[in-house]
Chains A and B, each alone.
Chain A
Amino acid sequence: AQTVTQSQPEMSVQEAETVTLSCTYDTSESDYYLFWYKQPPSRQMILVIRQEAYKQQNATENRFSVNFQKAAKSFSLKISDSQLGDAAMYFCAYRSPFLDDKIIFGKGTRLHILP
């Protein structure tokens, strides 16, 4: 069975600095999809970035980028120039290419931004 592990329950970063959140996963599939979702205090989760496993190029969305290491089954999120609004819970998620398979979330990393 697929699993997603986020080993850092909490992290803190100084405003304007860079922080990396870790995520590892386990799967026997060769094709799949990976996501990072952000959950601010409002509770509404928002997609930050996604990566298709067949794409070697790391996804980037403005200040957010990933380091996707397929062989190591690692999918870390880098946030550059951290802003106060980045403070939230971040969830890493895995989804197989089969529509009848469920999406699997990690337990989350709470990110604090220090002014």
Chain B
Amino acid sequence: KAGVTQTPRYLIKTRGQQVTLSCSPISGHRSVSWYQQTPGQGLQFLFEYFSETQRNKGNFPGRFSGRQFSNSRSEMNVSTLELGDSALYLCASSLGTENEKLFFGSGTQLSVL
């Protein structure tokens, strides 16, 4: 079974631009969640999608948005990039129950200049 795939692995953008990150979950997984990882804040939850519906949302501004397609693939969009958005963005997939483990991708390292 293929693992969780995130593309691209690295991205460099400038302030004010927008960016779209992609996550392909493990086949059969209906839940995809996104996290922002920074050295200072650790791992922070962005949002979770389950069967194309946003099920949970973290405390991030509206510039951060996402969506999930019928094949469970998910995209995350950040508009009007700020320097502070530089981070490792991780996505994880699961079947969608609360006690099961998350399967993570290798992340997209975003640098905003």
Give me the interface of A with B, judged by CB distance under 8 Å.
Answer: 33, 35, 37, 42-47, 50, 52, 91, 95-108
- Considering only CB atoms and an 8 Å cut-off, how many residues of chain B contact the other chain? 27
| Mask: chain B, 52-84; 1 = CB below 8 Å from A; 0 = not | 000111100000000000000000000000000
Instruction: Indicate which residue in B48, B96, B104, B106 contacts A102 across the interface (CB closer than 8 Å).
Output: B48
B22-45 residues with Cβ-Cβ distance < 8 A to A are 33, 35, 41-45
Contacts of A37 in B (CB 8 A): 102, 104
Q: Does B15 contact A (CB under 8 A)?
A: no
Q: Is the CB of B45 within 8 A of A45?
A: no
Q: Is the CB of A35 within 8 A of B101?
A: yes
Question: A97 with B98: in contact, given A45-B90, A46-B104 (CB under 8 Å)?
Answer: yes
Contacts of A46 in B (CB 8 A): 104
Contacts of B56 in A (CB 8 A): 100-102
Instruction: Indicate which residue in A45, A99, A107 contacts B104 across the interface (CB closer than 8 Å).
Output: A45
Q: Is the CB of A91 within 8 A of B42?
A: yes
**Interface SS majority for chain A:** loop
CB distance from A32 to the nearest CB of B (A): 9
CB distance from A68 to the nearest CB of B (A): 14
Of chain A, the residue at the smallest CB distance from B55 is A100
Q: Is the CB of A102 within 8 A of B88?
A: no
Which has the most chain B C-beta neighbours within 10 Å: A45, A46, A98?
Answer: A45
Contacts of B88 in A (CB 8 A): 43
Question: A103 with B101: in contact, given A43-B106, A45-B90 (CB under 8 Å)?
Answer: no
Of chain A, the residue at the smallest CB distance from B88 is A43
